[in-house]
Structure 1
Amino acid sequence: MMLRQQRVVIENITPQLHCGAYFIKRVVGESVTVYADVIGDGHDIIQAELQYKHSAEKSFNTERMEHLGDDVHRVSFKVLKQGFYIYRISAWVDHAQNWQHGIEAKLKDNQHVNSELLDGVQHLETLSSRISSADKKYINDLIESFQSEDLYEKAVKYAVSERLHKLFVEYPNRVLANTSDDLKVYVDRLKANFSTWYEFFPRSSSPVNGKHGTFNDCERLLPKIAGMGFDVLYLPPIHPIGEVNRKGKNNTTNAQAGDSGVPWAIGSKLGGHKEIHPELGTEEDLKSLIKKAKELDLEIALDLAFQAAPDHPYITSNPEWFRKRPDGTMQYAENPPKKYQDIVNFYFETPAFKELWSELLAVTLKWVGLG
C-alpha cells in the first residue's frame, strides 16, 4: 500500500449505505445533507469542503462545510436532475488562516509582529496567483506594506482585515489535502417518491355487459380515474392467456367454454410475453391509450410477470428454461397451500441462464419502449 502524506483524517461520512457499497437515493429538487468527522493532528485551523457533480458533468462543484464543533462538519447540496451524482469530502490544514489567526492573537497581546508579517508574504503571493485582477492590486499593496517597517501600522490592519480573511476562505491553498472515496446518490423523478396507483382489468372496461373490453374502451375511463386523484393506471399482464389448465370462474380448475382465464398465466399458441392478447387490441391501440393517459397526467404501468402457461411458446422453443421433475413432468407453480395449475415457473438456475436473462431483458425493453 502506498503511504500518502496527510495531516487530516476524514471519518464517519453520512449519508452512505454499507460503507458506500450501495448508492443512496433522492428525487429531483431534494437536498443531500452531508456530515463528516474531520480531525487534524494538532490545533491548526482545518477546512473541509464537499465536492459533487452529476455523472454527466466533467468538473466538480464545491461547497465549504460548516464546523459544528467536536470535529463534526456539515453541508448540503441540491440535486437538480435525474441520474447519478458523485459526492466526496476533501479537507486540509488552512495555513493562511492559521497565520492570520496567530497575528490577531499576538496583536491582542500587544506583541510586535514584524517577523510574522514577513512570514505572511508567502501566503499573499500564493493568493495573488489565484485571485481576480481586481483584487491583485490590493494584494500587491499588502505585500509591499508587509515588507516595509515604515508601513507597519498599515500592515497590521491589513493583516487582520475581513477582506483578506474572505479572500483566504474563497481561494484556499489545499496543501496535503485528504480526499475521501467517492460516494453516489441516485436521483429519480418526483413520482418515484410518491404516486397513487389504480389497478383494473382492461377486459372489464367494455360498456356492454358480457363483452370483452379493449384498450379503446379503457380510454373513456381515464378522466374518471384521474378525477379520483390517481396518477398511475396499473394493468395486469396484457399478453395471450394459456389454454392448457386454464382456470375457470372462482379459481376452478376446469374452465368452461367462454372462460377467459387468468392474465398471469402467460402464453399460448397466440404468442407470449412480447405479444398482446388479441381481444384487447393492438400495439397501436396501446400507444393511443398511453398517449391519452399522458394528456391527463396519468402514466401506464404494466405488471410484467416472468412466468409461463404450460402452452407458452418458450416451452417448445427453449425447454431448457424450465425444470422438469424426475418423472418427466413439469411442476406447476405453488405458494403453499395455494396451487396455480395454469402456471409454470422459469428455471433461473438453468445452465442456459444467460440466454434466459437476455430474452427477459428484451421483453422488458419492448414494453418500456412502448411507453
Structure 2
Amino acid sequence: MQDQRRVVIDYVSPSVNCGDFYIKRVVNEIVNVRAFILADGHDVLSASALFKHESDKQWNETRMSLDFNDEWQTAFSVEKQGFYDYKVEAWVDYALNWRHGIIRKIEDGQYVNSELLEGAEYINQVIKKVTLNEDKAYLKHLQDIFKNEDTYGEAINEATSDKLYNIFYNNPIKFLENTSKTYRVYVDRKKARFSTWYEFFPRSASEHEGVHGTFKDCERLLPRIKNMGFDVVYLPPINPIGEVNRKGKNNTTEAKEGDVGSTWGIGSQYGGHKDIHPQLGSLNDFKALIQKAKEQDIEIAMDYALQAAPDHPWVKEHPQWFKWRPDGTVQYAENPPKNIKIFYLFIGRAKIIKPYGMNV
C-alpha cells in the first residue's frame, strides 16, 4: 500500500533483466521504447519518453502514442557514442480529459455552458506556457467566447477544434504524473555493428622460410588484407613465449630445439603481459604497424589472454595471483591424457579466469 500511484507504468522495454544491465546500440540507430501505462478510472492519459546523453544536462522528450490495450510506444535516435539514459513519464492530462468529455456531451446535444467555463480555467493555465504570440492571442479569444453565452455557437466549435487540441497536447498540464526507473543504453561506434576480421601470426609473416617474422613483415601484408575486404587485423598474443614446458610442433607436449611454442603460453625471461616478444620487434615497431594499418583504414585487434607460462615473471613477483597445489606447485591447465602446462591467472580470491582462445 506504500508509494501508490494512480498512473501505473510497467513493462518498460527495451531493457535487460528489468534494467539491471544496459542495452546496446550503435550511432544513429533507433531505440524503440514501449511501456504499459494505465490508471484507475477513465481519465485521458499522456506519456513521454525522456532521454539524454551522459554529457547532456537537459532531458530530451518525445511523446508516446497509445498503440493497443494500454501499450504505449515511441522512439528516439542515439547520435553520439557513449551512454544514454532513458525513462518513461506518464500523467493524467486534465485539459485533454476536459476536451474529450465536452465533445461527448456536445455530440449528445447537451448544453455545455458550465463545461466551457471549466475550459476557460484550463486555458488560463496553458496560456502561461505557450510561447507564440499568435497562440496567446487565440487562447485569450477563447477565454472571452467561452465566458460569453452570446458566442455559444463559436465556442463549442472552437472547443472541439484541432487547433485547441494541438495547443493542449504540446503544452501539457501534468497531473498525478509518475516516472519509471531510469534505463541505460550504451551507444558504440558504427564499426561495432559489423566489421571483417583477418587473423594471422606475425611470426609467420616473413618472406623467407624458416625465418621468424616481424612487425615490419606484417606491414607488407596490409594492402593484400585490405584488397580482400577486411578492415580489422586480429593478432594472437605478441608477448614473450614461455620456455619452460613449451609445446612443440603439431601440438606435441615437448618442444624440440628451434620450436617457437604457443603464443598463448605467455611469459619468459624476456617479460610477461606488458612486454613484446623480442623476435617480433620493438614497441615502436608495433606502433608503426598500427599507424600503417590506420593508413589502410584497418584497425589492429589483439587477443587478450590471461594465462601464463611457468616461467612468467609474475609467478615469482605475484604468487597470490595463481592457484597453488598442496605440494607447492602451481595448478596448470590439464586436458588428459595431455597436460597443457599453462597457468591461469588467479585474480584475488574470486575465481580462476579462463582464457579466451585457449588454443595451446
**What band does the TM-score fall into relative to the shorter chain?**
over 0.9
* Cα pair 2:49 2:87 within 8 Å, conserved: yes
C-alpha offsets along residues 38-66 of structure 1, whole Å, 9 cap, x if unaligned? 11211221111111111221111111111
C-alpha displacement of 1:118: 0.7
**Letter of the 1:58 counterpart:** K
Structure 2: how far apart are the matches of 1:77 and 1:45? Answer: 24
CA RMSD of aligned residues (A): 1.9
Structure 2: how far apart are the matches of 1:81 and 1:255? Answer: 51
> Would the alpha carbon gap of residues 337 and 37 (structure 1) be closer, same or farther in structure 2, given more than 3 Å must change?
farther
Q: Structure 2 matches for 1:272-351, cutoff 5 A? A: 272-341=272-341, 343-350=342-349
| Matching residue of 1:56 | 55
Q: TM-score, normalised by structure 1?
A: 0.90
C-alpha offsets along residues 141-173 of structure 1, whole Å, 9 cap, x if unaligned? 111111122222222222111111100010101
> Would the alpha carbon gap of residues 159 and 350 (structure 1) be closer, same or farther in structure 2, given more than 3 Å must change?
closer
* Cα pair 2:198 2:233 within 8 Å, conserved: yes
C-alpha displacement of 1:101: 1.7
* Cα pair 2:253 2:338 within 8 Å, conserved: no
State the SS of the aligned residue for 1:84: strand
Q: Structure 2 matches for 1:7-156, cutoff 5 A? A: 7-134=6-133, 135-156=135-156
C-alpha offsets along residues 279-304 of structure 1, whole Å, 9 cap, x if unaligned? 11111111111111112221111111
C-alpha displacement of 1:224: 0.9
State the SS of the aligned residue for 2:121: helix
**More off after superposition, 257-266 vs 327-336:** 327-336
> Would the alpha carbon gap of residues 350 and 154 (structure 1) be closer, same or farther in structure 2, given more than 3 Å must change?
closer
Structure 2: how far apart are the matches of 1:224 and 1:65? Answer: 51
Structure 1: how far apart are the matches of 2:71 and 2:195? Answer: 36
**Letter of the 2:114 counterpart:** S
C-alpha displacement of 1:15: 1.5
**More off after superposition, 53-62 vs 197-206:** 53-62
C-alpha displacement of 1:255: 2.1
**More off after superposition, 77-86 vs 147-156:** 147-156
> Would the alpha carbon gap of residues 7 and 290 (structure 1) be closer, same or farther in structure 2, given more than 3 Å must change?
same
* Cα pair 2:320 2:348 within 8 Å, conserved: no
Structure 2: how far apart are the matches of 1:244 and 1:102? Answer: 85
> Would the alpha carbon gap of residues 118 and 212 (structure 1) be closer, same or farther in structure 2, given more than 3 Å must change?
same
C-alpha displacement of 1:338: 4.6
C-alpha offsets along residues 306-328 of structure 1, whole Å, 9 cap, x if unaligned? 11111111112122222222222
Structure 1: how far apart are the matches of 2:85 and 2:349? Answer: 37
| Matching residue of 1:244 | 244
5+ residue gaps, structure 2, are 354-360
State the SS of the aligned residue for 1:315: helix
State the SS of the aligned residue for 1:221: helix
Q: Structure 2 matches for 1:162-181, cutoff 5 A? A: 162-181=162-181
Aligned residues: 352
State the SS of the aligned residue for 2:24: strand
> Would the alpha carbon gap of residues 324 and 7 (structure 1) be closer, same or farther in structure 2, given more than 3 Å must change?
closer
Identity %: 53
| Matching residue of 1:188 | 188
Residue 262 (structure 2) pairs with residue 262 (structure 1): yes
